Structure 1
Amino acid sequence: MSKTPNYDSKLQPILAALTPGERLCALTGEKWLMTDEEIGWYKKFNVPPSKYSPLNRMRIMSGYFIMYNIFYNKHADTGRQMMSTIPPASGFRVLEDKEWYERDFSEKGISLDAKKSFFDQLYELSLCVPLPAHDNIVPPENSLAFLSFGDIDSYLVMASRSKRSLVCSNAFDTEDSAEIIMGTNVRESYKTMNSSNLFRCQFVQDSWDCQNCYFLFDCRNCEHCFGVANQRHKKYLWFNEQLSKEEYECRLAEVDLSSFKVREEYEKRFADFVQTQAVWPENSNINTQNSTGEYLEDTTNARECYNVRGGSRDIDHVTWCLGTPSENCAYCGGATGSTDCYYSVGVTNCHRAFFNMNIVTDSRDLEYCTRCFSCENCFGCVGLRHKKFCVLNKQYTEEEYWKILDDLKCRLLEEGNYGDIPGLRFSTQHWSSLLDLFEIDKATALKLGGRDFDLVSQGADGPEVSLETILPLETIPDRLSLDDYENLPGKFYFDPSVGRRFSYMKPELMMYQKLKVAPPRQHPRARIMETYKRSNKPEFFDTVCKSCNKAIRVAKNPAYPDRKIFCRACYNTFIEKNN
């Protein structure tokens, strides 16, 4: 028997009248084709059709992600300065993780006012409840880490499980490395993207099981190679030219990547090489069945998904699903170990979570919630744990809850305000965070509700320093001397690409010295952004195979807009002939 009979009676005629066909996005006016599959999800979850295009739904959910942004914020109670993924100008307050988990935010509950906008009331509640500054899943040891899975002795790492590493994102079982993104089992390596099982490798993308290599793209089981693409089981290649061991070692000895000028030269040369010489597969998927999307592994029946690994099945427009597989989920960002979830961000071990706007865990039947743990049947709540039958953090009896929920969902449905996440209004992030994953301009981002504030205001870059002490990047020596390793730490440099200052730490410089590579002349945020730019994006378009003209659907890649893409069959043939 339905617990919300009035809502159900109002919704059923809407669902019954749905037919496939062209729709216009209410946010941007772009057209999309609503399919039978999309309509099937609405009926399965008993929700009205979205007013937003699938692309804009994905953009909105990504706008709630904390891709790689680190700031100084202030403790919500004491005003003490502390580091966080949330900039102070966002208006959201923070606490240390341990303090946050010891608090009960049901005390912040407010009574629902039928005369006021529900989302205005939810926003008011969101500003009252502080957020955990680091959001660590497993407490790190001796590390400055965020969204940590148990980092040890690491610095400025995010969503990782690393040891003695720095400036990494989504790096698991990574040790003694820097700038590793979307990687697993990486050792003593530098600046890799979507690559795993690497040892002593630098400047690597989409490669596996390689060691002692530099500048690789789409390689497997290679050793002692430099500037190589589309190779398997090779040694002593130099920009795909076969050399003897002696010739290779002689050339390598002439390349000094500890010179920033030399480093830049080879980075540009290799980028041009990948653009003009490399062949890209239509996708980088591994062991998938009836699946479309990018960076998928072991998925079944996945449609237009991105970076999903570990056995998920029957999912549609789901991104960043890592670890424990999810099933029967649609339009979710960051869904792990969850079932029957819809249009939510950061759902872990959840069932029937709808329209949640960041991090709900071990919960079921939650809607429009943020950072709720082990909860059931809650609507519009923030920061609750082990609660049931709450609306706007206020506790009700079971009978009261269902009556309030039925009335509220009827009102939101009549207003046209139920069935979508309310844009990016509740995001803690600046609109520019969307640039990590999408080609998007400011005007479009603002139409999605993207937030526009001064990222570095209110002390977000740390204690104030004299402008005269902030140096231009050009003053960093081309090669660092022993004295530089002692003198550079603590000096401030300004990175115009992100409009923020940064400084090197001595352990960081010592790692670059050990890796024999010139330190990057970028703010850590810019280093991660630059690497992400080389990756394929969760935005897809139709094209044709450059070999056989077969129609294929591929992910966008702004860094390589004119890359040579082959369908899977032609790519496999090319690899066989090339190796």
Structure 2
Amino acid sequence: MLSKRGLLIILKDNMNPETKICQNCKKDFTIEPDDFSFYEKIRVPAPTWCPECRSIRRMVHRNERNLYRRTCDVTGKKIISIYRDDCPYTICDKDYYFSNDFDPFKYGVTYNSNAKFFEQFYEFAKKVPLASLFVRNSENCEYNQDMGGASNCYLCSRTHNSKNMLYTYRGNHSSDCTDCFQAIENSEFLYESVNVSACSNSQFIHFCEKCSDSSFLYNCVGCVDCFMCTDMRNKQCYYKNEQYSRTDYKKIIDSYQLSTQEGQQKALKEFEDLLKKFPRRNLTITRSNNVTGDMIFDSKDSHDVFSVKGLQNCAYIWDSSRFSDSMDTYSGMSTELTYEATATTGHSSNCHFCVRVYDGSRDCEYSWFLQNCSNCFGCVGLKDTEYCIFNIKYSKEDYDNLLSKIKSKMREDKEYGEFFPLYISPFPYNDTVAHEYFPQNEQYAKERGMKWGNFEEKNYKVTMPANSLPNDIKDVPDSITGEVISCEHNGDCEHGCTKAFKIIPDELSFYRRRNLPLPKQCPNCRHYRRLAYRNSTQLRDVKCMCEGNNLSNGIYQNTVTHEHGDSSCGKNIKTTIDKDSDYVIYCEECYKKEVY
């Protein structure tokens, strides 16, 4: 039996980088000295799976966007849920779950020292009702997931303190945005935009800040009335990175006829071509020090982190903000000492191997959906309590004694230190965010003990083909909201295509107000189209493509003289940009020379 002291001795003897073989994919991976220090600090063994496999194992517990109609297993009410009807877990209406009628303690079970922990947890967790949706303190948000403080939203996910949002993923403190993706913050009246902050009245803008009244922008800051531009700072009336008079600028915009399908698609194609003619920064790391990864903001002393903000002393964290002294998490904010978890929020602390613990929870392990709890192990759905195991409350002394026995048995069974096995996830692999980052097929999922969800045929009848939609928004009648429109992909894609969709009244009003044509694809296919703008989470080695005073990659001519003059830069750098892309990749120094 391995004691805590024995565990610390093993870790202290390994304060050098160590290469291990992943017990899942069998590939080599490295554990860094700082990683060992963290494992010692929180008293857990070093991981046996590589970072990528660990990420997948966590992500299979996150269905962020797929909704289903089903029956509440407790009340018999018809509900909307992220869990399919054939889910082996007990699913209840969210209103019941968050009410005083729900008593999670009545499902408590006594720990069996003769059985493995994960097997016990699986059987126990299947009996405790899970909320159909995680939507709190929101109004008119029945068809959404993971929301708080929101109102009048439809088919959105991870959207908080926002209103009048449609088909948007990760919107915060924003309003009146449609079809937007990833960190839409403090913005309003946006369409088809990705990673923007403090922007308004714009469409098709990506990685922009403080821009307004603009269209088709990439990496622009402080721009107003700009169209088809990239890497601009504090400009006005610019078209394809050149300035025009306001009169000429307006004529150019009018010539595109952006209220029509044809005009919008023409502009989108030109925009994509334009982006390949300008250098792309190898990584986006802003106001940060001593970090590795990509899309990193206001962080320090962290490695292998992606799409993060406000991190300190962290590693292997994705899509999160304001974490400190944490490793291996996906989704969450404002926590510390977190390890192998997903959706830890609300100033939680020292929680490991957990799914959605929040509102100040602390010192919890191997638990799901805990609100303001402390010292809980193997629990599900508890609120405002402490010293519980499998939803049974103990005295502090009894809790400590039993917990010591459980951990000893888990170490013997090689369970302690591992996140929940893949088979415990309530979701089919293709319903989870893991499938968005790491697309796989049914065979892959089932060979690893995971579920796979088949497409559910709906009983509606298509009343209008996508190619019959009016070309111009001005010609769209009010009756369009009664039509069932076929998606132009018709299921012939890997995007979870629903084959048909509807235009809801609020959506039609938005398109009319913004003078935008109707979409021809279902919301799922549109979401996956935006996913393509997100780089991978794999860092690869490249050389800076800047050729000084010569054409870079035969495409781009520098606008200022660089320190290396006529010769190429050739600096060894890392990037997450796909190796098959046509982008001209510059190092940070060469890129800043051109943009600033």
The question of a shared fold, defined as TM-score above 0.5 by the shorter chain, is answered with yes
> 2:365 aligned to 367, 372, 378, which one?
367
| Residue in 2 that maps onto 1:554 | 575
| Residue in 2 that maps onto 1:65 | 62
Tell me the distance in 1 between the aligned counterparts of 2:526 and 2:85. 22
Larger relative contact order (Cα-Cα within 8 Å, sequence gap ≥ 6): 1
Q: Any conservation in 2 of the 1:190–1:202 contact (CA below 8 Å)?
A: yes
Q: Which amino acid in structure 2 is aligned with residue 574 of structure 1?
A: E
Query: Which structure 2 residues correspond to residues 195-274 of structure 1 after superposition, within 5 A?
Result: 195-274=196-275
| Residue in 1 that maps onto 2:396 | 398
| Residue in 2 that maps onto 1:477 | 470
- Residues 452 and 436 of structure 1: CA distance in aligned 2, closer, same or farther (over 3 Å): closer
Tell me the distance in 2 between the aligned counterparts of 1:263 and 1:92. 45
Shift of 1:59: 2.7
Shift of 1:38: 2.0
Query: Which structure 2 residues correspond to residues 61-460 of structure 1 after superposition, within 5 A?
Result: 61-101=58-98, 102=100, 103-140=102-139, 144-160=143-159, 161-181=161-181, 182-274=183-275, 276-309=276-309, 311-322=310-321, 325-348=322-345, 349-432=347-430, 433-434=432-433, 438-442=437-441, 450-454=450-454, 456=456
Shift of 1:369: 0.5
| Residue in 1 that maps onto 2:7 | 11
Shift of 1:435: 5.8
Shift of 1:130: 2.0
- Residues 535 and 216 of structure 1: CA distance in aligned 2, closer, same or farther (over 3 Å): same
Tell me the distance in 1 between the aligned counterparts of 2:189 and 2:544. 37
> 1:41 aligned to 12, 32, 38, which one?
38
Shift of 1:73: 3.0
**Secondary structure of the structure 2 residue equivalent to 1:357:** strand
Q: Any conservation in 2 of the 1:424–1:451 contact (CA below 8 Å)?
A: no
Of all paired residues, the percent bearing the same amino acid is: 21
- Residues 526 and 91 of structure 1: CA distance in aligned 2, closer, same or farther (over 3 Å): farther
Q: Which amino acid in structure 2 is aligned with residue 47 of structure 1?
A: V
Per mean C-alpha deviation after superposition, the further-off stretch among 422-431 and 363-372 is 422-431
**Secondary structure of the structure 1 residue equivalent to 2:403:** helix
- Residues 408 and 187 of structure 1: CA distance in aligned 2, closer, same or farther (over 3 Å): same
What per-residue deviation string (whole Å, max 9, x for no partner) do you get for residues 348-394 of structure 1? 22221111133444211111111011212111111111222222222
**Secondary structure of the structure 2 residue equivalent to 1:328:** strand
| Residue in 1 that maps onto 2:538 | 539
Q: Any conservation in 2 of the 1:282–1:568 contact (CA below 8 Å)?
A: yes
Tell me the distance in 2 between the aligned counterparts of 1:47 and 1:300. 24
Query: Which structure 2 residues correspond to residues 516-535 of structure 1 after superposition, within 5 A?
Result: 516-535=515-534
Is 1:50 aligned to residue 50 of structure 2? no
Shift of 1:137: 4.2
- Residues 363 and 17 of structure 1: CA distance in aligned 2, closer, same or farther (over 3 Å): same
| Residue in 2 that maps onto 1:460 | none
> 2:593 aligned to 569, 573, 576, which one?
573
Shift of 1:212: 1.5
Per mean C-alpha deviation after superposition, the further-off stretch among 54-63 and 166-175 is 54-63
Shift of 1:530: 1.8
Tell me the distance in 2 between the aligned counterparts of 1:475 and 1:126. 49
**Secondary structure of the structure 2 residue equivalent to 1:220:** coil
Q: Which amino acid in structure 2 is aligned with residue 573 of structure 1?
A: K
Q: Which amino acid in structure 2 is aligned with residue 575 of structure 1?
A: V
Task: State TM-score, norm by structure 1.
Answer: 0.89
- Residues 200 and 95 of structure 1: CA distance in aligned 2, closer, same or farther (over 3 Å): same
Q: Which amino acid in structure 1 is aligned with residue 4 of structure 2?
A: D
What per-residue deviation string (whole Å, max 9, x for no partner) do you get for residues 232-262 of structure 1? 2223333234433222211211222332233
Q: Any conservation in 1 of the 2:330–2:341 contact (CA below 8 Å)?
A: yes
**Secondary structure of the structure 2 residue equivalent to 1:188:** strand
Shift of 1:32: 1.1
Q: Any conservation in 2 of the 1:24–1:31 contact (CA below 8 Å)?
A: yes
Per mean C-alpha deviation after superposition, the further-off stretch among 476-485 and 348-357 is 476-485
What runs of 5+ residues in structure 1 fail to find an aligned partner? Answer: 458-463
Q: Any conservation in 2 of the 1:438–1:539 contact (CA below 8 Å)?
A: no
**Secondary structure of the structure 1 residue equivalent to 2:179:** strand
Shift of 1:490: 4.5
Q: Any conservation in 2 of the 1:180–1:192 contact (CA below 8 Å)?
A: yes
Tell me the distance in 1 between the aligned counterparts of 2:11 and 2:446. 30
**Secondary structure of the structure 2 residue equivalent to 1:52:** coil
What per-residue deviation string (whole Å, max 9, x for no partner) do you get for residues 112-140 of structure 1? 22333321221122221222222124333
Tell me the distance in 2 between the aligned counterparts of 1:179 and 1:448. 34
Tell me the distance in 1 between the aligned counterparts of 2:529 and 2:59. 18
- Residues 48 and 169 of structure 1: CA distance in aligned 2, closer, same or farther (over 3 Å): same
Tell me the distance in 2 between the aligned counterparts of 1:483 and 1:223. 30
What runs of 5+ residues in structure 2 fail to find an aligned partner? Answer: 547-568
Q: Which amino acid in structure 2 is aligned with residue 523 of structure 1?
A: C
Shift of 1:141: 5.2
| Residue in 1 that maps onto 2:554 | none
Tell me the distance in 1 between the aligned counterparts of 2:318 and 2:338. 13
Tell me the distance in 1 between the aligned counterparts of 2:124 and 2:233. 55
**Corresponding residue pairs, total:** 560
- Residues 475 and 125 of structure 1: CA distance in aligned 2, closer, same or farther (over 3 Å): farther
- Residues 408 and 305 of structure 1: CA distance in aligned 2, closer, same or farther (over 3 Å): same
Shift of 1:16: 4.6
| Residue in 1 that maps onto 2:557 | none
Shift of 1:567: 1.7
Tell me the distance in 2 between the aligned counterparts of 1:470 and 1:243. 45
Shift of 1:414: 1.7
CA RMSD after TM alignment: 2.6
Shift of 1:17: 4.8
Per mean C-alpha deviation after superposition, the further-off stretch among 337-346 and 137-146 is 137-146
Per mean C-alpha deviation after superposition, the further-off stretch among 407-416 and 488-497 is 488-497
- Residues 54 and 149 of structure 1: CA distance in aligned 2, closer, same or farther (over 3 Å): same
